[in-house]
């Protein structure tokens, strides 16, 4: 299976990149930043992952714009993943729903989603060294590995 991952980590902690690296290792996938090279890789892939940190309740704009710029997915398998400072709200304004909907609207077949907390040093949190100081944790990385193994099977 030819897998590719399109991801962007904005914070200096690279939280989402840590998750991307684990998933990529399990899938034997290449990692690309959103852009023309990534678009070529997506076109050639059987399975595509899209991931970023959550900024202002959503995936990073560059990733959302990249998805919007893609041609129709034509049933290609896709998954998404994210890290965030706080848990995803249980009902309203769920961080990851927009990405799932955008991928489905493009014609991808969404086969899974992964989320965990990430070190968050935004604004005042930075004054106390951040929240979720050790996230993603070793357990989060194990969960990401299990998620990827499930995708591969």
Ligand X SMILES: Cc1cc2nc3c(=O)[nH]c(=O)nc-3n(C[C@H](O)[C@H](O)[C@H](O)COP(=O)(O)O)c2cc1C
Give the footprint of ligand X on this chain (CB under 6 A): 9-11, 13-17, 53-57, 83-86, 118-120, 122
Give one DSSP letter per residue of 90-128, joined into a string. Answer: SSTT-TTHHHHHHHHHTT-EEEEEEEEE--B--GGGGGG
Residue whose tokens read 């991928």: 103
**129: exposed, middle or buried (Cβ count in 10 Å: 0-12, 13-18, 19+):** exposed
Q: Which is nearer to ligand X, 141 or 152 (CB)?
A: 141
Q: Which is nearer to ligand X, 76 or 117 (CB)?
A: 117
Q: What is the nearest approach in angstroms of ligand X to the Cβ of residue 67?
A: 17
Q: What is the nearest approach in angstroms of ligand X to the Cβ of residue 27?
A: 19
Q: What is the nearest approach in angstroms of ligand X to the Cβ of residue 136?
A: 8
Q: What is the nearest approach in angstroms of ligand X to the Cβ of residue 74?
A: 29
**138: exposed, middle or buried (Cβ count in 10 Å: 0-12, 13-18, 19+):** exposed
Q: Which is nearer to ligand X, 77 or 148 (CB)?
A: 148
Q: Which is nearer to ligand X, 60 or 76 (CB)?
A: 60
Residue whose tokens read 């927009």: 98
């Amino acid at each position: 299976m030819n897998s590719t991952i399109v991801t962007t980590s904005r914070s200096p902690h690279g939280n989402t990149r840590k998750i991307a690296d684990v998933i990529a290792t399990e899938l034997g996938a290449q990692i690309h930043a959103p852009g023309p090279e990534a678009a070529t890789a997506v076109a050639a892939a059987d399975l595509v992952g899209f991931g970023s940190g959550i900024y202002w309740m959503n995936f990073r704009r560059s990733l959302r714009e990249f998805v919007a710029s893609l041609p129709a997915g034509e049933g290609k398998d896709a998954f998404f993943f994210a890290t965030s400072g706080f848990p995803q709200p249980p009902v309203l304004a769920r961080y990851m729903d927009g990405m799932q909907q955008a991928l489905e609207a493009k014609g991808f077949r969404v086969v899974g989603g992964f989320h965990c907390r990430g070190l968050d040093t935004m604004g005042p949190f930075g004054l106390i060294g951040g929240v979720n100081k050790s996230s993603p944790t070793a357990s989060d990385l194990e969960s990401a590995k299990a998620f990827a193994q499930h995708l591969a099977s």
